[in-house]
Amino acid sequence: MSWIDVGAVTDIPLRGARVVKTPAGCVALFRTETAEVFATSNTCAHKGGPLSEGIVHGRHVTCPLHNWVWSLETGEAQGADDGRIATYPTRIEGGRILIDGAAIGKRTAA
């Protein structure tokens, strides 16, 4: 894995998100109430809503457009027929968020 520093953990409020722009598109970084950090596609697979503007609850985010709920761990839609968003490995070192650049590079632009 090729880890890229994308900012401080404290840059993201608890139960909040921020967007990182990459050549392959926008990635949403989410911080849960327990300070876990997850990275996913910022685009809802249902109707293309901006997931970073959704509500973070537990290890899930609810799309602000149509209330679809996505797992931040697996990218799977919860309670919907089908659908998946991309997820990317993250880790925290010294209070900094690192995201796997190799995984981002494998993503195709939307």
Domain CATH for 79:
2.102.10.10
Share of residues in the chain with pLDDT > 70 (%): 95
pTM of the model as a whole: 0.90
Closest to 43 measured CA to CA, from 60, 23, 26: 26
Q: In what order do the strands lie in the sheet with 69-71?
A: 55-57, 60-62, 69-71, 77-78
Domain count for the chain, please give it. Answer: 1
Q: What is the pLDDT of residue 81?
A: 65
From 6-10, 32-36, 52-56, 64-68, the region with the lowest mean pLDDT: 64-68
Q: Is 21 helix (H, G, I), strand (E, B) or coil?
A: strand
Is the per-residue pLDDT at 24 higher than 80?
no
Rounded mean pLDDT, 34-50: 92
Q: Which domain holds residue 33?
A: 3-106
